[in-house]
A and B are shown apart, each in its own frame.
Chain A
Amino acid sequence: MKKYEILEHTADIRARIFARKKEDLFVNSAICLFGLLTDKKITAEKIRHIELSAAKLDDLLIFWLNELISVFYSYKFLPVDYAVSIDDSPGAQKLVAKIAGGDFDPYDSKNVKSEVKAATYHNLKIEEDRNGFIAEIIFDV
């Protein structure tokens, strides 16, 4: 099963994410995001913890991606591996994640493919069928 594909969008980047499980949807979205940012492979040397909550799963997915963008640029941290768990009680979606990664210079144009400003909430779709989950996300670039 492929993890993601890039679709057309006039000004920004639109991606479709595929996953069998809800947790993998978050992992594969992160893989898509960092696939847009860099091709560089690094070894995991550090662990970061992220905890987020939102009223809806859609919001939680965008909070997650923007948290990763923020960590990438603010703390110069490139994630390579993710352990995500989601507690989806109605009305309060909670994410707890352990991210393994390492130091990376997000300002070094030799290693960075694109600048991603943010993941947006516009036309965000998460659908579930018998094969799993499909999400569509627009990144502002």
Chain B
Amino acid sequence: MAEISFERIDDFRFRIPKSYKPGMRVDGIIYATEKLLSGAKNDNAFEQVANVAFLPGIVKHSLAMPDIHWGYGFPIGGVAATDPDDDGVISPGGVGYDINCGVRLLRTNLTLDDVQGKISNIVNKLYQDVPSGIGSTGDVRVSVKEERRVLLDGAKWAVAQGFGVKEDLESCEEFGAIEGADPDSVSERAYIRGKEQTGTLGSGNHFLEVQVINDVFDAKIAEKFGLRLGQITVMIHSGSRGLGYQVCDDYVRQMIGCLSKYAINVPDRQLACAPVNSPEAKKYIGAMRAAANYAWANRQVLMHLTRLVFEKVFSKSWQSLGMDLIYDVAHNIAKFEKHIVDGKSKLLCVHRKGATRSFGPGHPELPEKYQETGQPVIIPGDMGRASYLLVGTKKSEEETFASTCHGAGRVSSRHEALRNIDIDVLMKELKVKGIEVRATGKKTIVEEAPSVYKNIDDVIEVVQESGISRKICRMRPLCVVKG
């Protein structure tokens, strides 16, 4: 593998010219600093940026966000838009197995003083009442007929069942249910895997975290979101569980066959794809949207269970605790969105694989309440440092198909973490910082230790300084339930 030589565009942008590899249709552009770039050079992530540039119909650039790391097919932190009118393709590998993995952020009226002495109680109850862990199953059991409704109606289904209120839906990307889901394109096995897991957090990097706002960068917008310094927030990170994994596998398998059928040349079979207008792509799009809706329903149920825990701990209704949803974002998804290409508005298929939509102020797809501010962008960090709330910008609409980073991004493997990190030392370090962690297994805590991630502050600096999103506040963790 040839060493990639990056062309420095400015302090926060680097180019992989399309001359790097024959077959690249466009340049790769990486949003990073020299520091972040050198930290990720040892893995295959940048090669993957170049590979994505092979996709038929790719428009402008193959993009990577500053949390980029080695994935499979697309890098994690990869963004690519294709033009359906120019034989553009959709690739299930550009969405990933955990379809609509995403994050939501709730505000509360509580302050640090209100939760002092109650953190252990909160984290224990969250751990007890919100199903988490490897292959966790939930109390929310649905029949196959009901599951079809989940796949069609997403978070709307959950609200109709009493898991939340209709105001929550306004605070979700796609209002909690993307149109065009096709439950008939979802395999029986995906249904079976989904049935057990509605309302469960899952394992790996999924989590539920209680945080306090320890920095406010834009008090005016924070105020509009009902947020201020010292206030308690709750963040939930989960996805479409086994249902999404099965949908992805079913369609990658099918699209491997599409590579020869449509004479598509990609350097990695995980980039298997089909022209957006082909029957295979249409079926995948219907199934992917169904899985995305399942994930929105799932996060809605998880939020409801979280609100109930707070009600128990504080003996107040969640409404009087002010536990309103700020926003819910998807960071593994493909969407059809209008973007300007060569001065013309085009409907493109935007793949975000570990990247967050970042619409600026005035975007027609945003609800009224966020028209002036731009879309809330929620970026979780690691469990020992911080997470951020940002807003989308016009600049990201111009440069990155309205996309930004999705997290801190890993720097070392799970294997390495298990070899090098002592659980007792780690737990002590977290305790010193005042962070309580619960998980089904110690292994997950070690694999998700803060040191395996990039420093979230470095990642956020890039999206802030390059202008593809704007910092509103920074939250530090108080307690975490890990899957």
Is B72 within 8 A of A70, CB to CB? no
Is A120 within 8 A of B270, CB to CB? yes
Q: How far is the CA of A135 from the CA of B122 in the complex (A)?
A: 47
Given A115-B204, A118-B245, A122-B268, CB of A73 within 8 Å of CB of B135 = yes
Query: B189 touches which one: A74, A122, A124, A138 (CB < 8 A)?
Result: A74
- Say if the beta carbon of A45 comes within 8 Å of chain B: no
Query: B193 touches which one: A13, A54, A74 (CB < 8 A)?
Result: A74
Q: How far is the CB of A86 from chain B (nearest CB, A)?
A: 18
Is B256 within 8 A of A66, CB to CB? no
- Say if the beta carbon of B434 comes within 8 Å of chain A: no
Residues of B within 8 A of A6 (CB): 415
Q: How far is the CB of B391 from chain A (nearest CB, A)?
A: 28
Given A9-B70, A11-B410, A140-B97, CB of A109 within 8 Å of CB of B415 = no
Query: A109 touches which one: B133, B197, B411 (CB < 8 A)?
Result: B133
- The segment from B55-63, B153-161, B247-255 that touches chain A is B247-255
Query: A115 touches which one: B44, B93, B135 (CB < 8 A)?
Result: B135
Q: How far is the CA of A54 from the CA of B259 in the complex (A)?
A: 13
- Say if the beta carbon of A117 comes within 8 Å of chain B: yes
- Say if the beta carbon of A43 comes within 8 Å of chain B: no
- Say if the beta carbon of A128 comes within 8 Å of chain B: no
Is A107 within 8 A of B260, CB to CB? no
Is A12 within 8 A of B443, CB to CB? no
Q: How far is the CA of A13 from the CA of B70 in the complex (A)?
A: 11
Given A11-B69, A70-B246, CB of A123 within 8 Å of CB of B268 = yes
Residues of A within 8 A of B197 (CB): 107
Residues of B within 8 A of A9 (CB): 43, 70, 413, 415
Q: How far is the CB of A67 from chain B (nearest CB, A)?
A: 9
Is B193 within 8 A of A120, CB to CB? no
Q: How far is the CA of A30 from the CA of B93 in the complex (A)?
A: 23
Q: How far is the CA of A63 from the CA of B249 in the complex (A)?
A: 9
Residues of A within 8 A of B93 (CB): 120-122
Give the interface residue-count category, chain A.
35 or more
Is B72 within 8 A of A141, CB to CB? no
Is B135 within 8 A of A10, CB to CB? no
Is A10 within 8 A of B72, CB to CB? no
Is A122 within 8 A of B135, CB to CB? no
Given A117-B245, A140-B97, CB of A124 within 8 Å of CB of B69 = no
Most buried by A among B136, B268, B269: B269
Would you list which residues of chain A between 44 and 89 have a CB under 8 Å from chain B?
A: 54-55, 58-59, 63, 66, 69-70, 73-75
Residues of A within 8 A of B21 (CB): none
- With both beta carbons as reference points, the residue of chain A lying nearest to B411 in the complex is identified as A10
Q: How far is the CA of A54 from the CA of B145 in the complex (A)?
A: 34
Is B269 within 8 A of A121, CB to CB? yes
Q: How far is the CA of A17 from the CA of B234 in the complex (A)?
A: 43
Is B69 within 8 A of A10, CB to CB? yes
Is B135 within 8 A of A8, CB to CB? no
Known: A109-B440, A118-B245. 14 other contacts (CB 8 A): A6-B415, A9-B43, A9-B413, A9-B415, A11-B70, A13-B414, A59-B256, A70-B189, A70-B249, A107-B135, A121-B252, A121-B270, A122-B270, A138-B72
A-B contact pairs, 17 of them (CB 8 A): A9-B415, A10-B412, A11-B413, A12-B72, A55-B260, A58-B269, A70-B249, A108-B135, A109-B440, A112-B135, A113-B134, A118-B249, A120-B72, A121-B272, A122-B71, A122-B73, A138-B72
